[in-house]
Amino acid sequence: MTRLVVKVGGAVAAESAGRILGLREDGHEVVVVHGAGPQITEEMVRRGIPVQFVNGRRRTSRRALDVVRESYGAVNGKLCKEIGEPAVPVIGDTAGLLAVPVPPLGWVGDPLPCRPASILDALAAGKVPVVAPLAVGPLNVNADDAAAALALGLGARQLVFLTDVPGLLVDDELVDSINATDANRMLDAGTFDGGIVPKLRAAAIAASSGITAHIGSTAVTA
């Protein structure tokens, strides 16, 4: 049985349940990590909290952290409902997800590979753990980074990013594959911007450790 970590963007969370269930029905162990980017931004704007990003990562004040937790909780609940009976909600900081604080970004952390007992227990029971990427602190963790860290910690064979883009675009053309070395070189050169940056960086980290990674239809390889 192949263990997969599937990262679901907040914009496509509810629509991803069918794909997640399909992977489970194919015999895979599936761990889901979701984001809530659009929901967090919308609520921060509504409350008059400044929205700032640094290299695709959200600067998170204490006020913003409250919004992050509420938004993650809402998306987690909705996604679990769409997945149905197999879904097990996992809120990262209570489950013991670990991260190193990144003070320049506020209440934000860089995730560390780990093997939370609640996730392993859910997998052992044939369930689908659905993880909101908060870490002990609490710290807001980018969902792409959290998915890669969990893939490493849990010994996953594949990391799959379900997103609202078809894959990686290079010079406005969709590429079938890219190796981690080229991906990191292009990232360091500033070739990409926006939300694709943390996705590709996380995929490259996973690929460099022997985990097959896919962003949409683009494979990221070692």
Q: What is the pLDDT of residues 77-121, one digit of tens each?
A: 999 999 999 999 999 999 999 999 999 999 999 999 999 999 999
Reply yes or no: is the peptide bond before residue 38 cis, omega within 30 of 0: no
Given a cut of 80, whether residue 55 has pLDDT beyond it is: no
Angle between helices 143-154 and 117-124 (to 10 degrees): 70
pTM for this prediction? 0.93
Kindly list the structural domains of the chain, giving each domain's residue range(s) and its CATH number in brackets, ordered by start.
Answer: 3-162 (3.40.1160.10)
The confidence score (pLDDT) of residue 190 equals 87
Q: What is the pLDDT of residues 1-41, one digit of tens each?
A: 799 999 998 777 778 899 999 999 999 999 999 999 999 99
Mean pLDDT of 206-222: 92
